[in-house]
Structure 1
Amino acid sequence: MASFFKFLLIFPLISHIHGAISHKYPTLPKAAVLPLKKDLSTLQYVTELLIGENLSPVKLVVDLGGPFVWIDSEFTSQLSSTGSVKSCSLQCSMVEIKGCSRSGGLRCDASKTCTLPVENSVSRVSTSGEMKEGRVGVKFLDAMEPGSLAYIRRFLFSCAPNLLLEGLASDAKGMLGLGNSRISLPSQFSTTFGFFHRKFSICLSPSNGAILLGGSPSEIENESTISMMYTSLISKNSNIQDGYYINVSSIKISGEKLSLYPIGFVGRTKISTTTPYTTMESKIYNTFIAAYIKAATSMNLSLVAPVAPFEICFSPNEVGSKTILPNFPAVDLVLQSELVKWRILGRNSMVRVSNEVMCLGFLNGGLVKPKDPIVMGGYQLEDYTLEFNLANSMLGFSSPLGMGKKKCSDFDASSMYPMVS
């Protein structure tokens, strides 16, 4: 164990972020796990973090691209052993806070606390928050003792005013950022526990799922049936804190390539857990739905009156079944080559709004030039294993689970945590 801590000393900032493991491991744990649960009223994905000296559970909405964890200041004030971070500290400089700059010959004020911009990525409301540090606990997946507790002693997060909670799931006290910044949860975790790779995986489902820090379900469950494809994660405007993007070279519906380039299609596509359904810029969307309707009607699927918020709905032939999903056109997002494509089948493209009606779960994002031309929403991500490797900027994605394979709900981690009701 002593040699392990000696090894950790080579990591930058380790004197400021310390980890402790609650017992000695005969073998290294495979990953840390956080539970995921879908809030059906908001369609948000919610997890739980254990924070403070007493490791109090706090319910947080998962923000895949969020740069850090932020928690309601009223909840934070009730925690023991959490402290403020000074503006001149090394921790503050980790998020490139301008308060530590010495431009214009001015020295930073060591008496002030570190503040940073905080955003609710659901409501798009933003304000400033104070940086804090405190103990955070995580559960390890260990073959010898599943659910063993470990913790980060001086985890960095932000507290934010109560107004930022508007629009979040019931009882949520903030958001958990999984983005590629130096103070996101995956980054602080891998820095603290140096034997883990700098990567994380998510497995979303309509019910329960999991976030895995340092590992993936295919490694943990020894599931050879979970095959993965890989594509590069690309940056937007060279800013790693803008979220996760992939480059989609083309889109196919039932094997037919959409003619998108005449309307100025750019392949940058954002992956989001706070957007319920995939959105497309208006011109892309119009081309997409025209091709989808053509393919669907050729399969004898009949258009019916739309049901908000969806614009395209069908009455499939097999309307009497609540469990069997009728065949719908396959949507392929072609990535770096024709051999690497993200296939979206009916389970992830169609939303059943009643026994008689199913609607296309892709929405018009509006605007001619929106911030992001395409945003892949949570519904399209469900029952895929997604592995974000931050060390080499790669995204791994499985084929759709649940087709004779494990589903994301099979990786349910809620029993390891006292999930906030």
Structure 2
Amino acid sequence: MLKLLVIILAFISHEHEAIAQYGPPYSSVVIPVTKHTDVAKPVYSVEIMTSFVNMQFKTENFLIDIDAPFIWHDCIVYWDMYPGKCPDDKFCHYPISCEDQTCTWVRTDYSYRNPLCSPETNRSNLPGYGVDCTCPLNVVNPVTGTCGGPALLSENIFNVHKSNGRNVFNWTYISYPIGACAPSSSYASFPANVTGVMAFSTSLYALPEHFYQPLKKSLSLCLPSTSSSRGVMFFGTGPYYLLPHSNVDLMSYLSYTPLLKQPDSFGYFIHVKSIVIKTRYIKIPSNTITKLSTIDSYTTLRTDIYNGVVQRFSKVTRRFKPAEPVAPFGYCFSTSNNNDRRHVGFKVPDIDFVLIGRKKWTVSTSNSIKQVTKDVACLAFVDGGETSEPAIVIGTFMFEDNFVVFDIENSTFGFSSSLLHKHTSCSNFNFTLTHLP
């Protein structure tokens, strides 16, 4: 019996080694990220392959929204999509009927509704094959907060490149999420060449829900600080590498804090216990919730928290001459006589966001100071008002050149603080295509 047990254990061990040896050579998918500054406020997009035409992929740029309930973009719906039916300059998708259970599910499940939106009604404009009505949905423009549409629920096909965290492979991973085709008026305020919203929230109709094994449900984001170079987004497991440190896994830089759920929201939330500036704690009520946003440009604080931060920050930067505030900021200073520049912004104290478990998200000067003119810089926090909820919203300026991970499976949020102090940046991923081993 002992010999038999040894043989069985050896066989199992051999099988595990074989699976590991012949497992997929990719651990994630990778998507390039672009910063756009040609609109009222900076926003970020991902470039995703949406159709295969004339032996090559057509791509579309989508705004990154980690709060959106579903995907919507510039496309049209056709039931009889035989070759040549779809115009060359359009993306075409099969519609989902109002009689389909999916239509009911999406309408029921997506939670935030703009009071300016009209009630959704079915339209009978796609007869044939049992489809006698479309499934209209209201969409909310994340840039303006206004109601758009109606958009028509449809089937989608998206392609993204596979990766091992270091290389981008020439093979693609295909996902089939439900989305909606929206009229051009819905994205009229978007940056040039951005024609849709990609939902990366916890919704059942967001893109992360449509990535399957071997990909882990974990979204990693590295926003670029300039519009001239690309950042990077991963979905899956690490490791992840940025040049020039080709052997340093970005995951080794991370600290973690729990992700919190909030009713009627598909977004991501954390708990900030206090804000510390040069050993002084700014008091934050214990029930304060912090939202993470890829749409808000700057970190917004409720007035009581904002006043505490500004009061403390102004004391530790008294050597700077105050300047007239530049909207949307409330505290600015002159830099015309400042000789105190460093490789990573001005020499001002770091701002620590203290999280659960005494973990600290350190906000260095590159993420806390915004140079608004040649001679004026501002503290990159915004007064949200006395009754703003959530009380803290962390915006994209604080994310730039930080590596962050939304681990959906384990409900944790990982953060690196500024990569500039590690002598790299979010623009240093190698997007050169290589062959899949």
TM-score by length of 1: 0.79
Aligned counterpart, 1:85: 96
Following the alignment from structure 1 to structure 2, what is the Cα–Cα distance between the partners of residues 68 and 222?
37
Aligned counterpart, 2:71: 69
Following the alignment from structure 2 to structure 1, what is the Cα–Cα distance between the partners of residues 91 and 188?
25
Following the alignment from structure 2 to structure 1, what is the Cα–Cα distance between the partners of residues 339 and 134?
60
Q: Which stretch of structure 1 is more off in the superposition, 111-120 or 394-403?
A: 111-120
How far has the Cα of 1:230 moved from its partner?
Answer: 0.7
User: Structure 2: which amino acid aligns with 1:35?
Assistant: P
Aligned-CA RMSD value? 3.0
Of 53, 57, 60 in structure 2, the residue corresponding to residue 58 of structure 1 is: 60
Following the alignment from structure 1 to structure 2, what is the Cα–Cα distance between the partners of residues 212 and 382?
16
How far has the Cα of 1:361 moved from its partner?
Answer: 0.6
Following the alignment from structure 1 to structure 2, what is the Cα–Cα distance between the partners of residues 144 and 26?
17
Secondary structure, counterpart of 2:61 in structure 1: strand
Matches within 5 A, 1:410-421: 410-411=428-429, 413=431
C-alpha distance after superposition, 1:73-108 (max 9, x if no partner): 469974466201123435435535389xxxxxxxxx
Of 332, 342, 363 in structure 1, the residue corresponding to residue 361 of structure 2 is: 342
Of 195, 201, 204 in structure 2, the residue corresponding to residue 173 of structure 1 is: 195
Against the structure 1 CA distance between its residues 224 and 196, is the aligned structure 2 distance closer, same or farther, given a 3 Å change threshold? closer
Following the alignment from structure 1 to structure 2, what is the Cα–Cα distance between the partners of residues 336 and 320?
34
How far has the Cα of 1:351 moved from its partner?
Answer: 0.8
User: Structure 2: which amino acid aligns with 1:58?
Assistant: E
How far has the Cα of 1:355 moved from its partner?
Answer: 4.1
Aligned positions, number: 371
User: Can you give the 5+ residue segments of structure 2 that lack an aligned partner in the other structure?
Assistant: 1-21, 79-85, 111-129
How far has the Cα of 1:406 moved from its partner?
Answer: 2.5
Q: Which stretch of structure 1 is more off in the superposition, 163-172 or 394-403?
A: 163-172
Against the structure 1 CA distance between its residues 110 and 97, is the aligned structure 2 distance closer, same or farther, given a 3 Å change threshold? farther
Following the alignment from structure 1 to structure 2, what is the Cα–Cα distance between the partners of residues 374 and 252?
15
CA contact (8 A) 2:27 2:214 kept: no
Task: Report whether the alignment pairs 1:232 with 2:258.
Answer: yes
Of 314, 320, 326 in structure 1, the residue corresponding to residue 346 of structure 2 is: 326
Aligned counterpart, 1:377: 395
Aligned counterpart, 2:288: 267
Following the alignment from structure 2 to structure 1, what is the Cα–Cα distance between the partners of residues 320 and 166?
52
CA contact (8 A) 1:122 1:167 kept: yes
Against the structure 1 CA distance between its residues 335 and 142, is the aligned structure 2 distance closer, same or farther, given a 3 Å change threshold? closer
Secondary structure, counterpart of 1:70 in structure 2: strand
Secondary structure, counterpart of 2:356 in structure 1: strand
C-alpha distance after superposition, 1:343-385 (max 9, x if no partner): 101110001224432211111122x222321111100111111
Following the alignment from structure 1 to structure 2, what is the Cα–Cα distance between the partners of residues 66 and 258?
32
Matches within 5 A, 1:39-188: 39-42=36-39, 43-54=42-53, 55-73=57-75, 78=87, 79=90, 82-89=93-100, 91-92=102-103, 95=106, 97=108, 111-127=132-148, 128-142=150-164, 146-152=168-174, 154-188=176-210
Following the alignment from structure 2 to structure 1, what is the Cα–Cα distance between the partners of residues 216 and 164?
16
How far has the Cα of 1:198 moved from its partner?
Answer: 0.9
Secondary structure, counterpart of 1:84 in structure 2: coil
Secondary structure, counterpart of 2:388 in structure 1: coil
Task: Report whether the alignment pairs 1:292 with 2:292.
Answer: no
Following the alignment from structure 2 to structure 1, what is the Cα–Cα distance between the partners of residues 137 and 234?
27
Task: Report whether the alignment pairs 1:203 with 2:222.
Answer: yes
Following the alignment from structure 2 to structure 1, what is the Cα–Cα distance between the partners of residues 343 and 374?
10
Following the alignment from structure 1 to structure 2, what is the Cα–Cα distance between the partners of residues 321 and 209?
25
Aligned counterpart, 1:404: 422
Aligned counterpart, 1:281: 302
Against the structure 1 CA distance between its residues 260 and 406, is the aligned structure 2 distance closer, same or farther, given a 3 Å change threshold? same
Against the structure 1 CA distance between its residues 90 and 358, is the aligned structure 2 distance closer, same or farther, given a 3 Å change threshold? same
Following the alignment from structure 2 to structure 1, what is the Cα–Cα distance between the partners of residues 430 and 140?
29
Against the structure 1 CA distance between its residues 256 and 80, is the aligned structure 2 distance closer, same or farther, given a 3 Å change threshold? closer
CA contact (8 A) 1:33 1:211 kept: yes
Secondary structure, counterpart of 2:283 in structure 1: coil
User: Can you give the 5+ residue segments of structure 1 that lack an aligned partner in the other structure?
Assistant: 1-24, 100-108, 417-421
C-alpha distance after superposition, 1:196-233 (max 9, x if no partner): 10111000121320111113464796524642111111
Aligned counterpart, 2:371: 352
TM-score by length of 2: 0.77
- The percentage of aligned residue pairs carrying the same residue is 27
